[in-house]
Every structure is written in structure tokens, then in C-alpha cells.
Amino acid sequence: MQCPRCAAPMTAQALSSHHGRPITIDICLPCQSMWFDTFESVSLSPASTLALFRLIGKHAEATPQHHTDVVHCPRCGTAMQKTHDLQRNTRFEYVRCPARHGRLTTFYNFLREKDFIRPVTPDQLRELRAHIQSVHCSNCGAPIDLAAHASCPHCGSPLTMLDLTQAGALVAELERAGEPAAGVDPALPLALERARRETAAAFHAVEHTDVWFKDASSAGLVGAGVLAVARWLNKRL
């Protein structure tokens, strides 16, 4: 399949669903987008969500190519519709085929859909301005002058970043959910709370290190967080 945004060849990625049914999605690395056939995104198994998170981590330092605003369905050629959605309290967007053939979403909005991302707080913005001059927008890749802007002047997206503690806790939950089930585990709540404490300790100082600020300057705020979690995941393998 060719990418509906940039026409580059897309890479097929074999994954699994909640019910074990195989899923194949198409991924465009140049513009950092994913094509899901109808309902595939919401039916991803925990292991598949983790696999896509790791894939995003491998390409977090790349800047997505700018692309056309007019996107046509790769199945039927119909102009796709920009759609706003809500997952828990997080808003995200994608373009969808009006004939329900599927949706195209960016890596950034996939992370928003899976509740990995939160807005930058005023304190975090002040600290960023004290250490770096600009970052790339995590949505479109355009540069943001931190001294002048708190949102992207190109696409209007507010500054957001990966919630490292939340991301680590979600990853731990996904790993646990991906393990073979052996009935109801009465220790699961305690195990998840322990995982949250461990990830909070692991990432407590990450956002204040020189490495993180360097990654934020080159890969964007979300990219810096993805790289931090990817390094943490690699240590756990």
C-alpha cells in the first residue's frame, strides 16, 4: 500500500487482536502514520500495543515529513474526513474513510489515543525555556520557538509531552495483561500498584537530565519521553 499522505510505500506489520485473530496494519515511517482497517485500532491486544510503542520509540528522533491536508482512502479513493475523538479525558484526531474502510492516524495521535500523553504544565514550560530554545512539534514536526510560543505556530497543537510515570505504569499493565491468563489473580491490584511505584521511581528525575533536554531539542517533547521509556524497556528485556 502507498501512504495516503505522502505516497511512500507503507510497511505491513503483523499484530494480534484481543481474541487472537491476526491483524495486519500498514505503517509509513517517513510521515509517521498508521493505517488501521475498521475497528483494528480498538481491538489491538496488549502485546500489539507494546509492539507499536517500541516501533515508535525506534523512530522517535526522526522528524515527520510535512504532508498534504487532502487525504484519500487507499481502498476506494474517497476523500477522507478529519475526525476528533475522545479516549478517557484525552482528545485525539485522525482521518477516516466515510465508507468505513479504515482510518489513518499519526504516531502522535496513536499515543494520545492510548492515553500516553498530557499537556505541558506552566512549571515544565518555564524549565524548558531555561534549558532549550526550541523544540519540534510532536504533531507536525515544525519548529517551535519556546520563548515566543506555547503551541505550534504551524498546526496550532499545544505543547504536550509523554507522561513518563503514566506511560511506564501503562506499559507494566500491558505487559501483565499480555501474560497467559490463569483465572482471576487476586494479587493483580497490588502488582499494578507496585509497578506504578517502580516506574514513578525510575522516571522521577528523567525530565530534569541533560540527556532528556538534548532529546527534547532534537526529537520533540513526546519523542524525548518515548526514547526514555524505550531505553527503560530495553533494560527490562
Task: Note if the pTM is more than 0.85.
Answer: no
pLDDT tens digit sequence for 192-220: 677 667 766 767 678 888 888 999 988 88
Is 2 part of a structural domain of the chain? Answer: no
Q: Are residues 100 and 167 in the same domain?
A: no
Share of the chain above pLDDT 90, in %: 35
Please compute Rg for the chain using Cα positions. Answer: 18
Is 1 part of a structural domain of the chain? Answer: no
pLDDT at 199: 67
Read off the DSSP letter of residue 101. S
Is 219 part of a structural domain of the chain? Answer: yes
Q: Which of 21-25, 40-44, 93-97, 198-202 has the lowest mean pLDDT?
A: 198-202
Measured between alpha carbons, how far is 91 from 160 in angstroms, rounded to an integer?
Answer: 12
Is 6 part of a structural domain of the chain? Answer: no
Give the length of the chain.
237
pLDDT at 182: 47
CB-CB contact of 223 with 211 (8 Å): no
Give the ranges where 70-209 is alpha helix by DSSP (H): 107-113, 122-131, 164-177, 188-203
Is 3 part of a structural domain of the chain? Answer: no
Residue-number span of the structural domain to which 84 is assigned: 11-113
pLDDT tens digit sequence for 3-29: 999 889 999 999 988 877 899 999 999
pLDDT at 84: 92
Nearest Cα neighbor of 101 from 41, 18, 39 is 39
> Which of 89, 113, 137 is the last residue before a domain boundary?
113
pLDDT bracket for residue 225 (50, 70, 90) = confident
Measured between alpha carbons, how far is 29 from 34 in angstroms, rounded to an integer?
Answer: 9
Q: Provide the CB-side half-sphere exposure for 136 (13 A, CA).
A: 23
Q: What is the mean pLDDT of residues 59-85?
A: 85
Quote the number of domains for the chain. Answer: 2
